[in-house]
Homo-oligomer: A and B are copies of this chain.
Amino acid sequence: MDHSRADGHATDSMSRGGSAGVPADQATVRRSNLALVLRHVSACGPCTRSAVAAATGLNKATVTSLVSELQARGLVKEMGPQHAGSVGRPGVALALDGSRVGALGMEVNVDYIAAIATDLAGRVIIDRRIGFDAMGSGPERSLDELARMAERIVADLDRLGITPAGITVAVPGLIDATTGTVVVAPNLGWRGVAVTERLSHANIAADIPVAVDNDANLAALAEYTSGVAAGTSDLVYLTGEVGIGGGVIAGGRLLGGADGFAGEVGHVVIDPSGESCRCGRVGCWETKVGLAALVRMATPDRAYGTGPQLVRDPEERLAEIEHRRAEGDPRVDAAAAEVGRWLGIGAAMLVNLFNPRVIVLGGYFARLADLIIPAAQQTLARLGMSDAVERCRFAASDLGFGAASRGAAGVVVERALSDPTSISIRTPPTILPSA
């Protein structure tokens, strides 16, 4: 997924003169120009065809033809009253069409399944979340539940006249994106789970493509496109849940690594003389700042011992901690400050390695941000390279539990904007004659 703006374009006159024009090239050029026009309308709309022509360098007749096709694919619409009969309709503004094509992002996490459907402008149409014990239920029943939710939402969208351009599912684990398989998701207890394959058997139109990606990577994209640090081209996203997820935006692009496994912060060893982690290592960052660590410190009377157990009912435990905090229990403040301190220790490593401008905190970190961030910032200032640290701040995410689903929907939108021909034509386009 490349968010950089197109800085060049192919014209429809590429194959004139002496070069060997072939049909395949013309299709490529057309697709590239459709994307160019669609991105311009998406970023700068509402705007007229003339403005699109001026900004893209395409001639107006070409723009008119491209816009017709984008209209036919349900991607662009005209705003306001049409001036019937005027060729090229110079005064009519174009905008993204939100009425027919949407995007569906979903997330399976330890104790819930969530979904967000948006239009092409990222406006939320449906936002759902159900409590679900994905860990206890196992992959098969979890995927059944996911499929049922997807079917219901696609049906609901259909009643609104909207077809999703695709479905992307966020999972907290290592993903093989090419096969749509979860390689391993420790906190779900999954290994080798073919998510895309299962959803292909759901009662959903077969031409809606399904993809799978890492939850924190998708949440990082959501923060980059629409969160508190939107537009910050170097940011790190950290989410505090039962596990600790991380996603890195570097130079405006998601850092994937060779296999899409980059940003796996949870099991970085941060205290070689610390506690055992349930992964078998000692002193993983997760043992210091995961929800289990907070629960253990904030509610020692209710903790599941000191062993490497999972936190059952995370949302319930967090609610209890917030309740005790409201009642003035000093152990909550102390626990959050200790989490903040270890968060700062790990953040110093991240700042030295990634030199981000912002570290966005999601999950439970965001819920207790006012307690966690001061301690984290103080520790970071002490341990990080000062020149990089001075220019980096923590920020609490305001996307809540929807961050990963929103990022997943964003990936679908991005794909549609990059290749408008992936959206099928419902009505034949009206190709206007050249001006």
Q: Give per-residue flags for A175-193: 1 if the beta carbon is below 8 A from chain B beta carbons, else 0.
A: 0000000011000000000
Q: Which residues of B contact A257 (CB under 8 A)?
A: 234, 250, 354-356, 388
From B9, B355, B388, contact of A8 by CB (8 A): B9
Considering only residues 138-181 of chain A, those with a C-beta below 8 Å from chain B are: 174
**Which of A50-58, A72-80, A220-228, A309-317 lies at the interface?**
A50-58
Any B CB within 8 A of the CB of A435: yes
Any B CB within 8 A of the CB of A272: yes
Chain B residue, CB-CB nearest to A22? B57
Given contacts A11-B13, A57-B19, A272-B271, contact A391 B259 (CB under 8 A): yes
From B11, B253, B350, contact of A14 by CB (8 A): B11
From B260, B265, B271, contact of A352 by CB (8 A): B265
Given contacts A13-B13, A53-B19, contact A385 B258 (CB under 8 A): no
Q: State whether B262 touches A353 (Cβ < 8 A).
A: yes
Q: State whether B353 touches A353 (Cβ < 8 A).
A: yes
Any B CB within 8 A of the CB of A18: yes
Q: State whether A281 touches B388 (Cβ < 8 A).
A: no
Q: How close is A281's CB to chain B, nearest CB, in angstroms?
A: 6
From B57, B255, B353, contact of A15 by CB (8 A): B57
Q: State whether B258 touches A234 (Cβ < 8 A).
A: yes
Q: How close is A418's CB to chain B, nearest CB, in angstroms?
A: 12
CA distance A385 to B355 in the complex (A): 23
CA distance A147 to B250 in the complex (A): 35
Chain B residue, CB-CB nearest to A260? B355
Any B CB within 8 A of the CB of A197: no
Q: State whether A258 touches B19 (Cβ < 8 A).
A: no
Given contacts A25-B57, A352-B267, A353-B268, contact A261 B385 (CB under 8 A): yes
Q: Which residues of B contact A350 (CB under 8 A)?
A: 353
Q: State whether A261 touches B387 (Cβ < 8 A).
A: yes
Q: Which residues of B contact A84 (CB under 8 A)?
A: none
Any B CB within 8 A of the CB of A17: yes
Q: State whether B183 touches A387 (Cβ < 8 A).
A: yes
Considering only residues 1-41 of chain A, those with a C-beta below 8 Å from chain B are: 8-11, 13-20, 25, 32
Q: Which residues of B contact A268 (CB under 8 A)?
A: 348-349, 352-353
Any B CB within 8 A of the CB of A406: no
11 more A-B contacts (CB under 8 A) besides A17-B61, A19-B59, A258-B356?
A: A14-B57, A19-B57, A174-B385, A234-B258, A250-B256, A250-B262, A255-B255, A258-B355, A258-B392, A261-B352, A262-B354
Q: Can you list the 4 inter-chain pairs with the closest CB atoms, starting with the nearest?
A: A257-B355, A17-B59, A234-B258, A261-B355
CB<8 Å pairs between A and B, sample of 20: A16-B59, A17-B62, A19-B53, A19-B59, A174-B385, A234-B258, A248-B353, A250-B250, A250-B262, A251-B255, A251-B256, A258-B355, A259-B387, A264-B385, A268-B348, A269-B345, A269-B349, A272-B345, A273-B273, A349-B349
